[in-house]
Amino acid sequence: MLDHVSIGVKDVSRAKAFYDAALAPLGVSAKYAQGGSLGYGDAAIFFWVSQAEAPAPADPQSGLHFCFAAPSRASVDAFHAAALKAGGRDNGAPGLRPDYGAAYYAAFVVDPDGYRIEAYCAGEA
């Protein structure tokens, strides 16, 4: 089981503005912000964002993406809208993904550094 994931970004201030907005609808907030590092979580920090001299280059063919659990379909919708407003790019509008499961509801965005992120809800609500 994973405990946390860390990503490197070019501009931690820009990343903070993006992730603060995009993750808020999911109940995730910055629990740590010091020295060029941010720690996001709900009860515990599980997503770290740090200033890096050479972040991993964006590669849409890599298959790399990060998926955040959402409490409801409405929160998936809000995640997508907030991420786009905060400088993200659309990579899949909110909706059902029957290829992934009958009730798999998700939205996909690309953050300002090129990382692909998803919010997903398995329930009907």
Q: Which pair of structure tokens corresponds to residue 56?
A: 């991993």
Which residue is it, tokens 């991420």?
83
In tens, the pLDDT along 17-31 reads 999 999 999 999 999
DSSP letter assigned to residue 30: E
pLDDT tens-digit readout, 43-70: 899 999 999 988 888 888 888 999 999 9
Lowest mean pLDDT: which of 10-14, 29-33, 59-63, 97-101? 59-63
Average pLDDT over residues 101-115: 95
Q: What is the pLDDT of residue 59?
A: 86
Determine phi and psi for 82, rounding to 5 degrees: -65, -40
Position 43 scores a pLDDT of 87
Walk me through the domains of the chain, giving residue ranges and CATH numbers.
Answer: 5-52+62-121 (3.10.180.10)
The larger pLDDT score, comparing residue 1 to residue 24, is at 24
Query: What CA–CA distances, in Å, run from 117 to 22, 34, 35, 51, 76?
Result: 10, 23, 24, 18, 12
The conformation of residue 25, written as its DSSP 8-state character, comes to G
125 pLDDT tier (thresholds 50, 70, 90): low
Long-range contacts of 39-43 (CB under 8 A, 24+ apart): none
